[in-house]
Structure 1
Amino acid sequence: MKISYSKKIYANLIIGILCISWGIYSYFFNESSGDYFPIFFGSLFIAVFINQYVYKYVEITDQEIKVNSFPSKILAIDQVNFIGNFGDDYILRTSDKSLRISKSQMDHNDLPKFETFIQKLEVSLKNS
């Protein structure tokens, strides 16, 4: 199961395009043409958008949960011994790792699937 990022990632695309446009405009129409920072930062915003668009926020397989942030975090499902909910985040813990998954970064259409998965995982933890 793959959980997408929310639609807020398109803000990175818009900011990136605006920064690059501003950088190109200032390069051609200002006398000091050595300012490449807007083009650089705009490219970074577009790179973040592409990364978040291609790699989904959370990928869940039968064996593991992977959060595609920087750096990626992987947690084995069979080792999870605690599931908590703190504010807008789900916290999953093993004996040596902790994973925080934010509901605000998930696509609203994928949120019910994730919450169903968490409920099933909580039931399996209580039974074992």
Structure 2
Amino acid sequence: LEFAEQASWLAFNDYEAKLMEERTGRSPKQLTEMVKGVIVTRGGEGSVIYTPEREYRIPTAPTGCLVDPTGCGDAYRAGLLYGLMHGMDWDVTGRIAALMGAIKIEQAGTQNHSFELDEFHIRFRDSFGFTFA
């Protein structure tokens, strides 16, 4: 837990979160006693963001086709960092992250995807029914 005490946020996939709980005896929610947020991705089931105040259930973003999941976690985390850096709330930040993962899974390889910011905003609106600034 020493590393967790030095972090602001922790991000795990579901396997890593279970392993962390088995080894430390602390659930993701309990870890929020030490950090601002714990993010757990659950593949096709979306993600959950735990904060000391509440739990956010983040849906997946629709995808056109499933090509290659390699790098989706990294793309998701890039979305998290974008939202956090821009002071967005967890609902928006989680959905940005989810859409980043969806865009990545539609492309082969880990660095072969790109998009324009305007396209991203349109797809975000179409996916989640609202916009962000």
TM-score range, shorter chain: under 0.3
TM-score, structure 2 as length reference: 0.26
Rg comparison, structure with higher value: 1
If the length of structure 1 is used for normalisation, what is the TM-score?
Answer: 0.27
